[in-house]
Amino acid sequence: AKEPVRFLVTGAAGQIGYALVPMIARGVILGPDQPVILHMLDIPPAAEALNGVKMELVDAAFPLLKGVVATTDVIEACTGVNIAILVGGFPRKEGMERKDVMSKNVSIYKSQASALEKHAAANCKVLVVANPANTNALILKEFAPSIPEKNITCLTRLDHNRALGQISERLNVQVSDVKNVIIWGNHSSTQYPDVNHATVKTPSGEKPVRELVSDDAWLNGEFITTVQQRGAAIIKARKFSSALSAASSACDHIRDWVLGTTEGTWVSMGVYSDGSYNVPAGLIYSFPVTCRNGEWKIVQGLSIDEFSRKKLDLTAEELSEEKSLAYSCLS
Ligand code: NAI
């Protein structure tokens, strides 16, 4: 029998956590042959709710679930984990300054960085979901210097999947036949959903999305804003944020990272920039990546037109500003 893989979910008593932990326990990420142990962290005010989630995990009698650690102690939560999905964070509340929210999250991510660095399993892979996701991941990277930068990522797969969904709805094709959209940059409304290299599988072969959707005004306008604003649209409709799709996309992110992407297909991940596509090095920025043997690689050599260039730069500028703001909270 395989050794169980230990998954950490922070903010596990929250909305995304509640959708995510049963997916992990059912083997959605690594498949039906891989036992798992769940580590769930939340803060003391949520301890009772967290215990309720633990009770439900017991009640669901998941055959793959070999243990549950539910705790408010960050060190206990991080000890021995192989994969950490960081969903817990401080939300922006009515009337709060951006700097105040940033400052709360910087201190959370700084302390989780140290706990992971000291107590997680070797080669632990980290996915940051909590907003501001890119900058939280950057802080984590800075304060966990012994965790290789290639092991620290943030979630833009939800935006990627939203873009696939919009194209599939527009063309009335299966979402599984659409591929290679790209989310560039920040997981925020400045992100750039790019379809210039996306294709659709049709009965007469693979066709560019640009050819099938001849309406450039839609592709360059409403499509982009719909994907950028989708989070807000879900909150408006549901009165809660998008938890189901965020949890599902987090599973996609980890699965593809660990098990690899399909030949000829890339996905979007927030990763540490090496300066590819003239994106400033040292930001956590969403790029198209392929994954093999548990490592991601930025897809190289894609052509970037003038329209796209501006959008890549705009979202990079926002990330540089967020980075400075985060650093100003440290001093
Ligand atoms: P939520 O408010 O329902 O849950 C957050 C949980 O985190 C709460 O249970 C809270 O007690 C906990 N928490 C707060 N500080 C913590 C700490 N220091 N350690 C551990 N746990 C802590 O929020 P929801 O809807 O589950 O969203 C979680 C985060 O994910 C938010 O920051 C949200 O903006 C972000 N998000 C990101 C998406 C992405 O695509 N990257 C998509 C959707 C949401």
pLDDT digit string, tens, across residues 96-123:
888 889 999 999 999 999 999 999 999 9
Report, as an integer, the average pLDDT of 45-69. 98
Q: Is the CB of 230 under 6 A from ligand 1?
A: no
pLDDT at 171 over 80: yes
Give the span between the Cα atoms of 240 and 33, in whole angstroms.
34
Number of H helices, E strands in the chain: 12, 14
For the chain, percent of residues with pLDDT exceeding 90: 95
* Atom 8 (ligand 1) nearest CA: 14
Residue 149, pLDDT > 80, answer: yes
pLDDT band at 95 (very low <50, low <70, confident <90, very high): confident
Identified catalytic residue from 160, 187, 197, 253: 187
Report the nearest atom of ligand 1 relative to the CA of 187.
Answer: 41
With a 6 A CB cut-off, is 16 part of the ligand 1 pocket?
yes
pLDDT value of position 61: 98
Residue 229 CB coordination number (10 Å): 12
**In degrees to the nearest 10, what's the CA dihedral of 139, 227, 9, 62?**
-160
Q: How far is the CA of 275 from the centre of ligand 1 (A)?
A: 30
Q: What angle do CA 112, 248, 294 make, to 5 degrees?
A: 65
The ligand 1 atom nearest the CA atom of 13: 9
pLDDT at 330: 87
Query: Quick check: 83 pLDDT over 80?
Result: yes
151-170 pLDDT tens trace:
999 999 999 999 999 999 99
- Whether 128 is in the pocket of ligand 1, judged by its Cβ within 6 Å, is no
Q: How far apart are CA 87 and CA 36, in angstroms?
A: 19
CB of 14 closer than 8 Å to CB of 242? no
- Average pLDDT for residues 251-277, to the nearest whole number? 98
130 is in an annotated binding site: yes
The answer to whether 39 is a known catalytic residue is no
pLDDT per residue as tens digits for the range 16-30: 999 999 999 999 999
How far is 271 from 13, CA to CA, in rounded Å? 27
* Ligand 1 and 43: CB distance under 6 A: yes
| Nearest Cα residue to 184 out of 21, 329, 325, 310 | 310
**The pLDDT of residue 323:** 97
Which residue did the predictor score with more confidence, 200 or 241?
A: 200
- What average pLDDT is seen over the chain? 97
Is 84 within any annotated ligand binding site?
A: no
| Cβ 185 under 6 angstroms from ligand 1 | no
Provide the 3-class DSSP secondary structure of residue 231: helix
Categorize the per-residue pLDDT at 253 as very low, low, confident or very high, splitting at 50, 70 and 90: very high
Inform me whether the pLDDT recorded for 187 exceeds 90: yes
Per-residue confidence (pLDDT) for residue 94, from 0 to 100: 79
Q: Are 289 and 282 in contact (CB under 8 A)?
A: no
